[in-house]
Amino acid sequence: MSLKSLISQIQTYDPDAEVELLERCYRFAQSAHKGQRRKSGQPYFTHCVKTAKILAELRLDTHTICAGLMHDVLEDTGVTREEMQVRFGTNIANLVEGVTKIGQYKLSVSTPTPTTTNTVEERVYRQRQAETYRKLLLATAEDMRVILIKLADRLHNMETLKFLSSEKCQRIAKETLEIYAPIAHRLGIWRIMSRLEDLAFKHLYPVEYRKIAQLLNQKLAEREAYCDKMVKQIRQELEKRNIFADVHGRTKHIYSIYQKMQQKGTPFSEIRDLVGLRILVKNDAECYTALGALHHKWNYHPNRLRDWIGQPKKNGYQSLHTTILDDGKPVEIQIRSYQMHKVAEDGIAAHWSYKEGLPTSKQGRSIFASYKQILEDIQETQDSPHQFIASMKLELFQDEVYVFSPKGDLFTLPAGATVIDFAYKIHTDVGHTCVGAEVNGSVAPIRRVLQNGDQVRIRTQTNGKPSRSWLPYVKTATARSKIKHWFREKDIADALELGKKFLTAELRVSYLNARDYLNSPKLLDIAKQLKLKNLDELFVRIGNGNESATQVVNLLKPEVPKHETETVEEVECTQKTASAPAIQLENDIDLGMMRIMKCCNPIPGDQVVGYLTRGRGVSVHRAGCIRILDEPERLLSVNWLEKSSSENGNHPPDIYPVKIFVECSDRPGMLGAITTAIAKYKVNIRSGTFQPSTERLDPTASDYLTIDVTGAEQLEEVMQAIRRLKGVERVTRKF
């Protein structure tokens, strides 16, 4: 397309378009891409012009089309954003930069998603994918025109995809089908959505695509003849009521046929609605008159009648849908005004202002606000990467249901939403205190899936509260996020109180007054040593078992430094044999008794440090132990003593008890597999507490095992053996 043709196309809907600006952008992009070629062999600039043409077909503003012409300049040439801003202004520079950022997000990978669940690779993949989706949503929410340019860019790339490698074709096609086509649907841009879906389907499933295309062509003449007959009959019926409408046939696009075959298991030969009819009239009133005329002439399916005029979809779509029966053959019909048809084809772009570059109609602003609200709700969710991605796809890409409050207020929810989702849609407090519902006047459980047209009354109780059992039934990111937030707050409050109780009890055992210490500056100093912000965080960590109340009290005791208050039980050497600890000071210095400490339980192979106490020799700790005070003058370099084979003789090696934590699937035989793996290394299991997890909803269990090992090397071998077991998620050593 030449510059003259592009300007002519834009002036058909915007006579006041900034022609001089368009000319400058056109020539600048043409010069910047000079010498560059696409894989097809065509000059690269042809892609830029095609992108601008698609944007012009959507009747977008001049700045958006200018950005479309230059959308690859920042990424593929030496031009900087600052230079572009000076030449063409901040608005266009921001749009081009936004499209460039989206182009850098790899929304899918060339290799298949790992199939083994709960592996490190799977978790890393999900985390990266979730972060990429978050960035895409942020870029989209900042300026809607950015995603419109990207959709136009992606559409032309899909039309020329065959020139790329097979691997790259698959990645881009999958990305298009899973991300960009649904975004076009959410924005109501049907003409782009259907083309993206068919092109992506053609590359992802070429055999299925060709099969459906061939089947469509086989009886094309027969379908066209039948369509012409129905068009003629419908026009006659409408003219009897003085309605002169544009009636024409429409063929389902190939991917929608494939979806119907897959979702409903319907063979192609039994699909009766391959061809539908569309009736375009002047206004809303004629839509309903036309519907009455059809239902007077033909029988129809009552359960397939949809009024999207009285209740527009969230993306602005309006139309009447009905299915009439012609000699028993179903015929799908859409009835809409010319303006509704424009919105159905172009979505939010149909509400665009050529002057301001923003949606100006009330309906357009509503679509824009609704879309941004969805993005904000998804952004706020604290779900795991897997749940975040599922929430995003549900909120953005699935169909909707429309339900009513008792007062008649209309609420929009994603398909599959339940009473719980509706309660949180009304208000957070309504959701938290929800105990039941009435749906269409009948009592219903809160997990009830809502349908179009349901009228819902939520029943609440003042002392009601959420339940973790709700989480499998909620569908919206908002409801899931609010339920999890409530439990996070509750768990923190419970842990805080429990931590205070543990610390109070430990202070009493040491004959210390709790009132003197629970809010003391010294306790706050200990919290800061642990890199905690305040005392509440310390209490929470004690309550959760992350910090020891005993160790904290030992740090609080005023009599002597903490290491000199250790009991005989606390400092007892952890070696099972009666031999002295296999530790020596650097340069063989003898400072008397050396004790291996139980607070951090060092074993041979660990990096250790000595602490010189007053009158009680040297206590040996693992490096990083929180009980080592910041007193460099009392720290000593110590090493493990290597015993020769002759020195060991026939005596068994020294062994050390070590506690490890194992998190794994809660399935039959799991504990047996773990113990068998340990036994292969001739390691004794001293104790264990295998039990289901209380912190997670999925079927997991955790186990604290105390095992006897000869040193860090053997401990690592045992832990690696456990990690290799199927179903094991995490193995760590307790400090």
Tokens 């100093």 label which residue?
525
| DSSP single-letter state for residue 163 | G
Measured between alpha carbons, how far is 295 from 323 in angstroms, rounded to an integer?
A: 9
What is the CA 444 to chain-centroid distance, rounded? 31
Count the alpha carbons within 13 Å of 188 in the hemisphere toward its beta carbon.
Answer: 28
76 in catalytic set:
yes
75 in catalytic set:
yes
Measured between alpha carbons, how far is 436 from 99 in angstroms, rounded to an integer?
A: 46
Measured between alpha carbons, how far is 393 from 270 in angstroms, rounded to an integer?
A: 31
Among candidate residues 18, 23, 57, 75, the one labeled active-site is: 75
Q: Are 526 and 538 in contact (CB under 8 A)?
A: yes
The SS3 assignment for 117 reads: coil
- Tell me the chain's radius of gyration from C-alpha atoms: 35
Measured between alpha carbons, how far is 281 from 234 in angstroms, rounded to an integer?
A: 13
| DSSP single-letter state for residue 307 | E
Count the alpha carbons within 13 Å of 257 in the hemisphere toward its beta carbon.
Answer: 25
The full DSSP string for 676-708 is HHHHTTT-EEEEEEEEE-SS-SSSEEEEEEEEE
Name residues whose C-beta falls within 8 Å of residue 315's C-beta, 6 or more positions apart in sequence: 185, 186, 187, 188, 347, 348, 367
Helices (H), 160-247: 166-175, 181-186, 190-204, 206-218, 220-239
Tokens of 623: 């490096």
Measured between alpha carbons, how far is 659 from 718 in angstroms, rounded to an integer?
A: 12
Q: Are 181 and 193 in contact (CB under 8 A)?
A: yes
State the sign of the Cα–Cα–Cα–Cα dihedral 16, 20, 25, 31: positive
Residue 506 vs residues 420, 502, 527: alpha-carbon distances, Å:
43, 6, 17
Name residues whose C-beta falls within 8 Å of residue 509's C-beta, 6 or more positions apart in sequence: 553
Phi, psi angles (nearest 5°) of residue 139? -65, -40
Phi, psi angles (nearest 5°) of residue 192? -80, -40
Phi, psi angles (nearest 5°) of residue 354? -75, -20
Q: Are 564 and 613 in contact (CB under 8 A)?
A: yes
Count the alpha carbons within 13 Å of 264 in the hemisphere toward its beta carbon.
Answer: 11
Among candidate residues 18, 57, 76, 178, the one labeled active-site is: 76
Tokens 């008890």 label which residue?
657
What is the CA 38 to chain-centroid distance, rounded? 34
Tokens of 244: 């002169």
Q: Burial, 121: exposed, middle or buried (Cβ in 10 Å; 0-12, 13-18, 19+)?
A: exposed
Measured between alpha carbons, how far is 533 from 56 in angstroms, rounded to an integer?
A: 56
Q: Are 101 and 139 in contact (CB under 8 A)?
A: yes
Question: How big is the chain, counted in residues?
Answer: 735
Helices (H), 544-644: 549-556, 568-571
Q: Burial, 2: exposed, middle or buried (Cβ in 10 Å; 0-12, 13-18, 19+)?
A: exposed
713 conformational bin, left if phi > 0, alpha if psi -120 to 50, beta if neither:
alpha
Catalytic residue numbers read 75-76
